[in-house]
Every structure is written in C-alpha cells, then in structure tokens.
Amino acid sequence: MPSTDMRVSTGSSAAPELTAYELVARGGRVIGVVRLPTETTWIRRSQLSGDDAPNAVMVTPAPPPKQDIDDYARAHGLDATRRAFDADVSRPQPNKPRTWRESLINPQVLCDEQFPEVRYVVPRIIPEGVTLLASRPKLGKSWLILQVATAIATGSVTLAASDHPEHGDVLYLALEDNARRLQRRLTKYFGGRREILPRRLGLTTTWRRLDLGGLDDLREWCRSVSKPVLIAIDTLKKVRKPKGRNQSDYDADYEACEGLVRLTKEFAGLSIIVAHHDRKMDADDVFDTVSGTLGLTGGVDTIAIVKRSTKGTTLHVEGRDVPETIEKALNFDRETCRWQILGEAIDIQRSAERSRVLTALRGAPDGLSVQELIGVAGLGGTNAAYLLLGRMVEAGDVERVRRGVYGMPGTRVNLSRAKRGQNSRQDGN
C-alpha cells in the first residue's frame, strides 16, 4: 500500500464508529477516527496495517487543517470525506526540513531494509549516479559518449553483454560541437541512415550554466520524458560555475558536480556522464591524472578514465557503487567510430607484450638481455620484465640462457654446439 501523509484528529464520541484499521482493511482511502494524544497530526497510511495499527502509528506535528475531518465526515458522510481527502493529499505538500533526530538511522532497521539493485548504463562498468569521464583531448571520448547514449536510446547492447540492456530517454549536451559538426558526427556514426536515428535521444549544442538555470533545465527535461535514464554533458567546463573570489580550488571542484549528484538522487536510476580532460603529467595512480583537485573526483559517484600508453588503450573505472577497480582494454575502430572492449587489460597487455618479446628473440640467436628486451619490446620496467619473462619461462615460451639473458627455446643448446665447434676448429689448427 502506498505511503501517504494524511490529516486526522482526536475526534469525539459523536464521530463515525469506524477505526483507521477497519477502514484500511476494507480498502477505503480515507481515515475515520484515530484517537491520538495530540489534536492534529499527520500519520502514514503504510503504518496503518496490522491489528495494533491505531496504537503503533508514528506521528509528527502538522498545521491545523482548514476543516476538522471528523466534522466533515459527520456532515457529508464517509464517501464524500474519502473523495475530499484523496483530492487533498494529491496536492504537493511543502518539504519540511528534517530534524537531526528524524535523520538518525537505526542500524538494525537499515540492515533489514531491501534496496533495489544498482542500475547500469554500461553493464557492470558504469552505474547510475554521476560519472566523470576523463581522457586526453581527441582520444575519442565524445564518440564513446555518443555510443553509450544511442545504445540507451535504442535499447541495444554496447561495450558489455547484457540480456536486458537499459532502454529509456537520453539527453546529450554536445557543447563543444556546433550543428554542422554534430550532423557530421551523426552521419558518420549511423552511416546516413535516417530511419535508425534514435527517437529517444535529445541533442543540443547549447545549455545554460548549471548555476544560471541549467540545473533546473535538466530537472525539467527529466520531468518532460517518460523514463529519463541518461544525461551526457560534453564537457564539464561548459556548464560549471566559475571559482568564487574567496573560494579554494578544492571547494570549487567539489561543488562543480554537486547539483548533478543531487539530481540523480531525485530521479531513481538516472545516470549523468560528464566529460572532462586529464592533465598531461602522469601519476602513480591513474585516477590522480584527472585535471583539477581531489575535490572533483571526490564529489562524483564514479570516475572513468580512458588512458593510452605503449601497452594500448585502457578504460579505468572506480566508484562508490563499483566493488573493485575495473581495467578494460579498449580498441577504437576508426571506420565505424565505435569502441570495443577487448577484455581484461592485464590479460590483453600481457598477450601483446609476450608477442613483442617473442618477435624480438626470434631475431636474436644469442638471446637478449633484460635491458635490451625492455627497449626493443617496450616492456614496462625491470621488475615487470623479469616477472613476465619468468612466466614465459614456466610456460616454455622462452628460456633463460644465463643470468639476465633470455632466448628462444633451444638457444642454450645452439650456443653450446657453436662453442664446441669453435673449440674443435681451434684444436685442429
């Protein structure tokens, strides 16, 4: 039964002889008389179920009603009271700030509560909430956003397999494009086939700044469609509020997406992907390469970074609803303008490194030192190289010729034969 606030009063002995529990049990939507210690209260219908309902309801003070419901019931009857009450509770009620006492959470009640499963716009990778998507300029993140947006708008599968792909309304703010470039992008992506253009995808190249009405515009869009699932903002710079005169960089960054986070809490299942740039300098932690302070990454629900290196292109994801850090190897097809997930980055990169090592050793009959392999095969470093070569030795792909030198299987035998032949020639001389 839905939870709805309703006005009741203590009533009098002349009120209709019906209790709240009896009315609810009979399917009525209006309360008759509930005897409570205060004159006027609010109670919730969801709490009026069970034999002890009149004694178990929770109440909070409320303003006096325009007309006492008991008086109205006596004058007009219960059917008319029910209709009047339904009309009254259907009107939006002002949000009253909760006190700290009302905000306290009972841990036992919390552990027993059932929450809906986290929804994903990209299965098991990008969840609901606000996701900051960062990469170097011109790396293809706008194509990635368009790919995810069109998949949601058409209910199709992209990037990750799913039996039930998310389907709903999408708003894409292509704020770094103009109409001409956006048309060219769509034509290239869909191949000029107008019939497959998604109808549930809304596009725009202009939007008000969030603090100048842009956030309210996003909220209005969510209310105007049947199922708002994704808002894509490309890029954050175009909509964020400028830093205040006396505001720290951290505070300004933290507040940049604060309104968007609140918006996702207003609309269940809503995801907002915000495009951003990373900085040129590398870092030990890839998530520290996002341009800005820690306030920016700390103020969103999920961080996704597309990073290109000598090992390939990798999608790194971590967030509040992401149990473990995700690292997926990516490939961008320039012909179709679509991204593809190749698999776990560590497996794909290890396979590519193995191939480069084998190619290098096939052309080195005497083997190569670890330092030579690092340079020729583009390995990450000394420790990573030794770890990889050790695994390749265990697998029988290569062999350790001597300390610090590796070669193809049979290299030691060949070197030993060559040395014996050389000694024999010397003895013959």
What does the pLDDT read at residue 419?
Answer: 74
Q: How far apart are CA 231 and CA 259, in angstroms?
A: 13
- In 4-140, alpha helices (H): 20-25, 53-56, 69-76, 78-89, 100-103, 107-112
pLDDT tens track for 332-361: 999 899 999 988 888 887 788 888 899 899
Q: How far apart are CA 154 and CA 178, in angstroms?
A: 24
What does the pLDDT read at residue 172?
Answer: 97
- pLDDT-derived band at 8 (thresholds 50, 70, 90) equals very low
Q: Are 274 and 235 in contact (CB under 8 A)?
A: yes
Q: How far apart are CA 405 and CA 399, in angstroms?
A: 9
Q: Phi/psi at 11 (nearest 5 deg)?
A: 70, -165
The residue-averaged pLDDT of 22-28 equals 33
Chain Cα centroid distance, residue 393: 41
For tokens 């034999």, name the residue: 51
Kindly list the distances between the CA atom of residue 360 and the CA atoms of 200, 395, 407, 410, in Å, as whole numbers in the listed order: 51, 18, 9, 15
pLDDT tens track for 62-83: 333 445 555 666 677 666 665 6
Q: Are 279 and 297 in contact (CB under 8 A)?
A: no
- pLDDT-derived band at 125 (thresholds 50, 70, 90) equals very high
Question: What residues have CB less than 8 Å from 395, skipping those under 6 apart?
Answer: none
Q: Residue 64: how many CB atoms within 10 A of its CB?
A: 10
SS3 7: strand
Instruction: Name the E strands within 89-146.
Output: 120-122, 126-127, 129-135
Long-range contacts of 363-370 (CB under 8 A, 24+ apart): 364/407, 365/407, 365/411, 365/414, 366/401, 366/407, 366/411, 366/415, 367/401, 367/405, 367/406, 367/407, 367/408, 367/411, 367/415, 368/405, 368/406, 368/407, 369/404, 369/405, 370/404, 370/405, 370/406
Q: What is the pTM of this model?
A: 0.67
CA torsion, ordered 184, 190, 193, 199, to nearest 10 deg:
-100
User: For a pLDDT cut of 70, what percent of the chain falls above it?
Assistant: 76
pLDDT at residue 33 is higher than 90:
no
Q: Are 339 and 125 in contact (CB under 8 A)?
A: no
SS3 423: helix
pLDDT tens track for 360-371: 998 888 899 999
What does the pLDDT read at residue 92?
Answer: 55
pLDDT tens track for 249-291: 999 999 999 999 999 999 999 999 999 998 877 888 888 889 9
Please confirm whether the linkage preceding 206 is cis (ω < 30° from 0).
Answer: no
Round the average pLDDT of the chain to a whole number and report it. Answer: 79
pLDDT tens track for 394-415: 888 899 999 899 999 888 888 8
In 3D space, the residue among 58, 50, 6 whose CA is nearest the CA of residue 24 turns out to be 50
For 217, the token pair is: 């515009």
Rg (CA), the chain: 33
Q: How far apart are CA 151 and CA 143, in angstroms?
A: 12
Instruction: Name the E strands within 291-374.
Output: 302-309, 312-319, 322-333, 338-344, 368-369
Q: Phi/psi at 181 (nearest 5 deg)?
A: -65, -35
Q: Are 323 and 316 in contact (CB under 8 A)?
A: no
What does the pLDDT read at residue 260?
Answer: 96
Sign of CA dihedral 351, 353, 356, 360: negative
For 361, the token pair is: 């050793």
Element (H, E) at 203: strand 201-204
Q: How far apart are CA 350 and CA 352, in angstroms?
A: 5
For 91, the token pair is: 């009107």
Question: Which domains are seen in the chain, by residue range?
Answer: 5-112 (no CATH), 120-344 (3.40.50.300), 363-428 (1.10.10)
pLDDT tens track for 98-114: 788 888 988 998 898 88
pLDDT at residue 242 is higher than 60:
yes
In 3D space, the residue among 150, 131, 349, 372 whose CA is nearest the CA of residue 260 turns out to be 131
In 3D space, the residue among 232, 243, 331 whose CA is nearest the CA of residue 276 turns out to be 232
